[in-house]
Structure 1
Amino acid sequence: MKKALFSKVAGSLLLSAGLLASGAASAQTTLTFNADGNATFSALHDWSAASNIDTYLFEVDTTSWASGTAVVGRTAINGARQANYAITDIQFFWEADDGTRTDLDTVFTTDGGIEFYPVDSLNAGAYGFTVTGNTLATNLGGAYAGTLNLAPVPEPTTYAMLGIGIGLLAFTARRKIDNKLG
């Protein structure tokens, strides 16, 4: 699974490099999810801006949990591989039909890697997140890439069926034990 993630991240970084070289890099991108509920995102920035804010938009069809991870690029500087970009914050938001955005409670952590997710599940609607960061080396660009995953929240009837199934298994197991005793 890690190998697949790193190959997707590497592909995203290469795609971003191509977009920047062609002058088509964008600060706002709409994400497309695959059949497994995963979407990739990436950006490549030059060193001239003090700070960058990239916005990624997406749609949710059914109540889902969202979670994402990201990695920053590395560059050989004075013979050492060093991070060339710093992500300082990632913030989820909900977007109303009129375009107004409401920030959602978001967890953003860099402990052992970059991970981010909204605290609550997302209902059907339009959402997005912003990535705030900056390049780290003067006269050198920087890049990052990541993956966002949407996982549907099971409906209450699913939990009810699970409870009934476990109850029937317990009843059957108890009945078999009683028959052996008597």
Structure 2
Amino acid sequence: MKKAFFSKVASSLLLSAGVLASGAALADETITFDSAGNAVFGLTHDTAGDFVDTYLFSIDPATQAWLSGTAVTGKTWIDGARLANYGITDITFFSEVDGVRTNLDTAFTNGNAIEFYPVDSLLAGNYGFTVTGSTLNNASGGSYAGTLNVVAAPIPEPATYAMLGIGIGLLAFSARGKTNNKLG
């Protein structure tokens, strides 16, 4: 009786550990940009099936950013040939505010090369993107990798707009005083 009880406890602990380990595999990955504005991402899936992977990043304050990404899939030996075993079907950007994710309009092309980018520029804040797809051969997993590039343009401060307004006003004032009396 004790043996059966300990066997059930041990199997339930192993099952719980497996559930926790599988949940850890689905955790969001955080990527960071280097000084040149590049970040690298990618994952390897050991088993066949569908996947949805999420990557998080932040845009610095006082910055307006334009992003562009590319990705490639790994090759696997299938039926005597090197074939892509991964199919990425979509990549979608989202914004995240207080834990709520809102999808952004994203351009995605999947031909010889995978390219993706948010249609609009991003302001300072927390963002991410999801990579959705599946393995093509049910017998094995596969991998993919990619890069994300950010080009930041500083957002002018309110004092800059005030100086611009004063400059235009001075130009208008100086042009107003120059009239030709001979013409009438």
Structure 2 residue identity aligned to 1:76: W
Question: Map of 1:49-128 to 2, 5 A cutoff?
Answer: 49=49, 51-61=50-60, 62-96=63-97, 98-128=98-128
Q: Could you tell me whether the CA contact under 8 Å between 1:93 and 1:102 is conserved in 2?
A: yes
Q: Could you tell me whether the CA contact under 8 Å between 1:66 and 1:118 is conserved in 2?
A: yes
Q: What is the aligned partner in structure 1 of residue 34 from structure 2?
A: 34
- Equivalent pairs counted in the alignment come to 134
Instruction: Tell me, in whole angstroms, the C-alpha distance in 1 between the residues paired with 2:150 and 2:48.
Output: 34
Instruction: Tell me, in whole angstroms, the C-alpha distance in 1 between the residues paired with 2:142 and 2:68.
Output: 24
| 2:36 counterpart SS class | coil
Q: Could you tell me whether the CA contact under 8 Å between 1:46 and 1:135 is conserved in 2?
A: no
Q: Could you tell me whether the CA contact under 8 Å between 2:89 and 2:110 is conserved in 1?
A: no
Q: 1:28 to 1:152 in 2, by over 3 A?
A: same
Instruction: Tell me, in whole angstroms, the C-alpha distance in 2 between the residues paired with 1:135 and 1:117.
Output: 23
Q: Could you tell me whether the CA contact under 8 Å between 2:44 and 2:143 is conserved in 1?
A: yes
Q: Could you tell me whether the CA contact under 8 Å between 2:76 and 2:84 is conserved in 1?
A: yes
Q: CA deviation at 1:79?
A: 2.0
Large movers: runs of 4+ above 4 Å: 23-26, 154-157
> Percent of aligned positions with the same letter in both sequences?
61
Q: What is the aligned partner in structure 2 of residue 166 from structure 1?
A: none
Instruction: Tell me, in whole angstroms, the C-alpha distance in 2 between the residues paired with 1:131 and 1:92.
Output: 9
Q: What is the aligned partner in structure 2 of residue 130 from structure 1?
A: 130
Q: Could you tell me whether the CA contact under 8 Å between 1:64 and 1:152 is conserved in 2?
A: yes
Instruction: Tell me, in whole angstroms, the C-alpha distance in 2 between the residues paired with 1:52 and 1:99.
Output: 22
Structure 2 residue identity aligned to 1:75: T
Q: Could you tell me whether the CA contact under 8 Å between 1:94 and 1:128 is conserved in 2?
A: yes
1:61-93: CA deviation from partner (whole Å, max 9, x where unpaired)? 121001100000101112211001100000000
Structure 2 residue identity aligned to 1:73: G
Q: 1:99 to 1:155 in 2, by over 3 A?
A: closer
Structure 1: 5+ residue stretches without partners: 1-22, 158-182
Instruction: Tell me, in whole angstroms, the C-alpha distance in 2 between the residues paired with 1:123 and 1:28.
Output: 21
Instruction: Tell me, in whole angstroms, the C-alpha distance in 2 between the residues paired with 1:116 and 1:59.
Output: 18
Q: Could you tell me whether the CA contact under 8 Å between 1:135 and 1:142 is conserved in 2?
A: yes
Q: Could you tell me whether the CA contact under 8 Å between 2:48 and 2:137 is conserved in 1?
A: no
Q: What is the aligned partner in structure 1 of residue 43 from structure 2?
A: 43
Q: Could you tell me whether the CA contact under 8 Å between 2:53 and 2:130 is conserved in 1?
A: yes
Taking structure 1 as the reference length, what is the TM-score of the superposition? 0.68
Q: Could you tell me whether the CA contact under 8 Å between 1:136 and 1:142 is conserved in 2?
A: no
